[in-house]
């Protein structure tokens, strides 16, 4: 393992931002893994730390196939993380909406450019990402429908689901999208949590990456075969919204199976504690995403459900 400072951003008021990379093996630039870009991505940071630990062990056991190099970047968002902010603390901008970056631009554009300079030439790019809505997911691999994606490769992670998403204009400045434009096979891996550590889904994510790298001939590692992934289109998920705002009480969670007409959640009056409305499942299926914050507003998305084929 070779540890390297990939990018340094000087700061007048606190320590410099130093983005650290961990290199394993040598030769062809085979795979790059990126963790926490945003400041609340604690789970993503933790998953990367466990990957660094495991890859260090595998390298010592000669488990990295010759002529393959891997790069792991555990964090680019620790300046935000240290003060409890999701985005860059000075101007509240999102580094993951600044790719491929611009080395003469604004601060977050320069950070993105510094990262992308190192990651753009790898064959496979894996990002431990987080969603813009707070909540829990069924672990899955997500890909942008850019025309360069390969859902067959995403199956090799052995996670329960592969989600194909049609990119919106705002997605064109993400790491995943730009990786694909630079002919990197890019994958975003989602675990159950973001700002909390969930050990079970973290270990599932580590195993999925090791499984993928083994199946691509980069590692020599024996692992559980995982799931036969189900490929779904994001627009096919049933979306459940609130009818009113209030205190949110979850009755169902990510991974739960639900029937049409079954209660999913209750919205309580914030002053009187009575149930204003009960949220009912519009379909039968499996809960893919569930909102977790204790307060909701009217017309807020609180569930996404994978519909059963007969639904």
The closest of 167, 126, 163, 129 to 146, measured between CA atoms, is: 167
DSSP state of 270: T
> Is pLDDT of 310 > 60?
no
**How far is Cα 178 from Cα 285, in angstroms, rounded to an integer?**
33
**Of 233, 253, 269, which residue sits at a domain end?**
233
Contacts of 77 (CB under 8 A, 6+ apart): 36, 37, 38, 39, 41, 95
Q: Report whether 290 contacts 302 (CB < 8 A).
A: yes
Structure tokens at 265: 């959640």
Check whether residue 242 and residue 111 sit in a common domain: no
pLDDT tens readout for residues 142-154: 999 988 888 899 9
pLDDT tens readout for residues 3-16: 999 999 998 778 99
Q: State residue 311's pLDDT score.
A: 44
Check whether residue 185 and residue 247 sit in a common domain: no
Check whether residue 162 and residue 241 sit in a common domain: no
Check whether residue 242 and residue 203 sit in a common domain: no
C-alpha neighbours within 13 Å on the C-beta side of residue 1 = 17
Check whether residue 116 and residue 29 sit in a common domain: yes
**How far is Cα 85 from Cα 195, in angstroms, rounded to an integer?**
11
Check whether residue 224 and residue 83 sit in a common domain: yes
> Mean pLDDT over residues 54-59, rounded?
98
Q: State residue 71's pLDDT score.
A: 98
Biggest CA pair distance of the chain:
66
Confidence of residue 309 (pLDDT cuts 50, 70, 90): low
Check whether residue 177 and residue 71 sit in a common domain: yes
When divided into structural domains, the chain yields a total of: 2
**Of 216, 233, 250, which residue sits at a domain end?**
233
Check whether residue 271 and residue 191 sit in a common domain: no
For residue 31, give the CATH number of its domain: 3.40.630.10
> Is pLDDT of 205 > 80?
yes
Check whether residue 149 and residue 281 sit in a common domain: no
Number of neighbouring beta carbons within 10 Å of residue 28: 15
Spell 70-80 as b/e; 16+ CB within 10 A means b: bbbbbbbbebb
pLDDT tens readout for residues 219-274: 999 888 899 999 999 999 999 999 999 999 999 999 999 999 999 999 999 999 99
Provide the domain limits for residue 280.
237-307
Check whether residue 70 and residue 199 sit in a common domain: yes
Check whether residue 190 and residue 291 sit in a common domain: no
User: DSSP secondary structure string, 43-99?
Assistant: HHHHHHHHHHHHHHHHHHTT-BPTTEEEEEEEES-HHHHTTT-SS-TTT---GGGST
> Is pLDDT of 158 > 60?
yes
For residue 297, give the CATH number of its domain: 2.40.50.100
pLDDT tens readout for residues 101-140: 999 999 999 999 999 999 999 999 999 999 888 899 999 9
């Amino acid at each position: 393992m070779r540890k390297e400072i990939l990018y340094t951003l000087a700061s007048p008021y606190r320590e410099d931002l130093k983005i650290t990379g961990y290199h394993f093996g040598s030769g062809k630039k085979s795979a790059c893994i990126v963790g926490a870009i945003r400041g609340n991505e604690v789970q993503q940071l933790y998953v990367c730390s466990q990957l660094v630990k495991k890859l260090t062990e595998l390298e010592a056991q000669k488990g990295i196939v010759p002529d393959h190099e891997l790069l792991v970047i555990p964090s680019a968002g620790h300046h935000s993380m240290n003060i409890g902010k999701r985005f860059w603390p000075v101007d509240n901008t999102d580094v993951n909406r600044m790719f491929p970056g611009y080395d003469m631009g604004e601060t977050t554009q320069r950070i993105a450019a510094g990262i992308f300079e190192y990651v753009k030439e790898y064959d496979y790019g894996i990002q431990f990402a987080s969603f813009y809505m707070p909540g829990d997911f069924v672990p899955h691999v997500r890909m942008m429908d850019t025309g360069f994606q390969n859902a067959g490769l995403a199956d090799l992670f052995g996670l329960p689901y592969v989600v194909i998403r049609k990119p919106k204009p705002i997605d064109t400045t993400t790491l995943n999208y730009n990786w694909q434009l630079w002919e990197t096979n890019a994958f975003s891996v989602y675990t159950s949590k973001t700002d909390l550590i969930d050990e079970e889904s973290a270990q599932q994510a580590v195993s999925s990456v090791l499984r993928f790298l083994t199946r691509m001939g980069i590692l020599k590692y024996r692992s559980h075969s995982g799931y036969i992934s189900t490929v779904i289109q994001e627009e096919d998920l049933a979306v459940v919204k609130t009818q009113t705002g209030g205190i949110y009480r979850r009755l169902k969670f990510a991974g739960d199976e639900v029937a049409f007409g079954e209660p999913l959640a209750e919205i309580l009056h914030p002053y009187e504690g009575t149930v204003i409305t009960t949220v009912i499942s519009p379909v039968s299926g499996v809960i893919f995403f569930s909102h977790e914050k204790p307060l909701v507003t009217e017309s807020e998305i609180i569930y996404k459900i994978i519909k059963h084929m007969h639904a």
